[in-house]
Amino acid sequence: MEKPSLNGEERAWLGQSQSQAQLTSTDDAEGGETGPEDRPAWDSKLQYVLAQVGFSVGLGNVWRFPYLCHQNGGAFMLLYVFLLVIVGVPLFFMELAAGQSIRQGSIGVWKHISPKLVGIGYSSCMVCFYVALYYNVIIAWSLFYLGNSFQYPLPWHQCPVDVHTNETVKECAKSSPTSYFWFRKALNITNSIDESGEFNLIMTGCLLAAWAIVSLAMIKGIKSSVMYFSSVFPYVVLFIFLIRGLMLDGAMDGITYMFYPKLEIWGNVQVWRQAATQVFFALGLGYGSVIAYSSYNPVNNNCHRDALMVSCINFMTSVLASLVVFVVLGFRAKTIAQSCVANLGQLNIMATESSTQHWWPWFNITEPSAVAIDDYREWYRHYSSMVGPNISDCSLEEEMNKGVEGTGLAFIAFTEVMALFPGSPFWSTLFFLMLLNLGLSTMFGTMQGILTPLMDNFSLLGRHRTLLTSSCVLGFIIGLLFTQRSGNYFVTMFDDYSATLPLIIVVIFETISVSWVYGTDFMDDIEVMLKWRPPVVYKYLWKYVCVLAMGGLLAASFLRMVFKGPTYTSWNQQASEKTLEYPGWGMAMIVMLIVFASLPVPIAYIHYLVQSRRIRSINSEERDSPDMQRELYTKCNSVEQLDFNHQGRAQEPDSPRVGPIFLPGGHELYRLLPQQEDDEEQDTGV
């Protein structure tokens, strides 16, 4: 049976008790935690919403979600919305409410719920640090491309010429100008992860610039004005690209492909895993950043409305980005197909001899650009055996089926299309400014997931924010791993394996902490904040559905990694991509990344048990010592004038008890009970 709602009197009492408990626990905590009255706050609700949206809407919305829609069709969106409603929104609401109620970072929140679970916060900080390391590398790549966008023609517009042979570079001729520029000019990539190569000096400088921007924003704090621009600007660019893209030939073909339903995917467990993972990462669950941002809210803020609003904005942003991607991919596919049809010009050589043959095209081949692709494919299907090898099938569907995800979508496919636009430098500059701001807004939230818990628990960091730059310096030094020629392979390793399993484990423990350890009291706390009780469905979603869903996602991800084996895609100088397995040391590195991020949870639990046992042992020894007995005797006689001594003399039955008796032990052993009054005496029970 559901616990009844609190009445007004009980709600007021609980709210007052909660505030007093928070102040007391904050003042008495170790490490000099910052009290709620000294905590920074958002200047406005708009600033908070922009920060929360800026963190949750990141590069994954632009290149991961569109790729999953490309692979699975429009039915994937319905599956995504279903999981977003029953898993994503409840977990997002839970983190918002926890941060706002307790007003601490991730470490302080889980320490407040149960000291045994403080390791959850440290695991979140560890994963945030992993993500920050490689995420800033992507920002550095965006800076590199942004700097190369201020020239016409764009450097990836066409293949370069070898100065020695005066011919097109073979690696570029075998692939494409954009692929060559990305792998050879930007990354100068090695053939495998085993070949480290020297440092890429240009990328090292871009990485230094990226960390400098992040460091300055972190010193400024949550009220940095950069946050406004980095959160809003990507939407402006996405709408501009959408309007421009809808004017392109092939745009509607791309949109049709995007929304074409493939209902059979619902029976594929792998697709369910992909959808759940995307929901998980799109909302930024488990990082601690959602908790950190919400902890700066006033206690009476409507966090339930915020959870619904930010989740909807996140989903609509993913749809908007997908529309932009698919109109661009539709234009790209149409352009490639029309280039294929243009090979019909070779039939003009055979015109005098073969124009009367039965297989001769019935359309005008003198203007290949005016030939409809459907007419060409119909002719080719019947008479392909009659023409030479240079005439091939030109399928728009096959070009659309060539899915590109991640960095390949942003730095290869998009750059190829933008090179075809009139005024290409302008469009390239806009696009990479958008990527830069998407990355920075997410990076700011990720760093807050690290710094807010540390500042809450270590007062030195709170008083001297410039010390926080040391984390940025450390991040840059470790980030040099990614600026080697083989650095892209390490970015792939961190992106695929450093965060997924540890974050799922963190969220599972978070949900168990709130729904099973904290219990129904959490709903009471939310009722005090919101002045109304959330629907009871949240309680059951937290206790059962979310825990089971996260457990299933953890099992599916782990089994996939075990049976499929960790792999990565390499690029060689023959302009071909190969899927390779990680070497032994690479496998060991993956295991270490996962273990180091997950270890704080059991370590903190064991540490708590050891400390509790030691404290109980010390308290027991002090309680039995003669000095403690003598101290208690002195206090009782001097303060309360009690007729009591070590010989156990009994108190007279009619003598009143005029004050509390001092008992040994810490304050955690006591519980205040309501006073009971009658006409004769007043008694306070302890």
Q: Is 417 within any annotated ligand binding site? A: no
3-state secondary structure 26-73: HHHCCCCCCCHHHCCCCCCHHHHHHHHHHHHCCHHHHHCHHHHHHHHC
b/e string for 415-427 if b means 16 or more Cβ within 10 A? bbbbbebeebbeb
Give pairs for 563-569: CB < 8 Å, separation 24+. Answer: 566/493, 566/496, 566/497, 566/590, 568/193, 568/489, 568/492, 568/493, 568/496, 569/492
| Long-range pairs of 166-174 with CB within 8 A, sequence gap ≥ 24 | 170/575, 171/573, 171/574, 171/575, 172/575, 174/574, 174/575, 174/576
- Residue 628 parent element (H or E): helix 626-640
- What are the start-end ranges of the E strands in 551-656? 567-571, 577-581
* CA-atom Rg of the chain in angstroms: 32
CA angle 61-65-70, nearest 5°?
Answer: 145
C-beta of residue 433 within 8 angstroms of C-beta of residue 143: no
Residues with Cβ within 8 Å of residue 552, at least 6 apart in sequence: 276
| Residue 651 backbone phi and psi in degrees, to 5 | -80, 145
What is the number of other CB atoms lying within 10 angstroms of the CB of residue 509? 20
| Cα distances (Å, whole numbers) of residue 390 to 224, 345, 384, 386, 446 | 59, 11, 11, 12, 52
The angle subtended at Cα 190 by Cα 325 and Cα 489, nearest 5°, is 55
Q: Name residue 162's beta-bridge partners.
A: 167
Please indicate if the annotation marks 658 as binding a ligand. Answer: no
Is position 57 annotated in a ligand binding site?
Answer: yes
How distant is the alpha carbon of residue 345 from its chain centre? 51
CB 104 within 8 A of CB 286: no
Q: Is 246 annotated as a binding residue?
A: no
Annotated binding residue 438: yes
Neighbouring residues of 275: CB distance < 8 A, sequence distance ≥ 6: 68, 76, 79, 80, 83
Biggest CA–CA distance in the chain, Å, is 132
Other beta carbons within 10 Å of 175? 21
Dist. CA 170–CA 159, nearest whole Å: 9
The DSSP result for 667-683, as a single string, is: GGG------EE-SS-EE
CA separation, residue 288 to residues 29, 354, 377, 643 (Å) = 20, 71, 54, 56
Q: What's the number of CA atoms in the CB half-sphere (13 Å) around residue 471?
A: 26
Cα separation, 316 vs 667, whole angstroms: 51
Give the C-alpha separation, 306 to 311, whole Å: 8
Whether 441 contacts 231, CB under 8 Å: yes
For 249, phi then psi, to 5°, come to: -70, 125
**How many contiguous H segments (helices) and E segments (strands) does the chain have?**
32, 6
d(CA 554, CA 273): 9
Q: Which residues are annotated as a binding site for Na(+)?
A: 54, 57, 61, 314, 438
Q: Which residues are annotated as a binding site?
A: 54, 57, 61, 314, 438
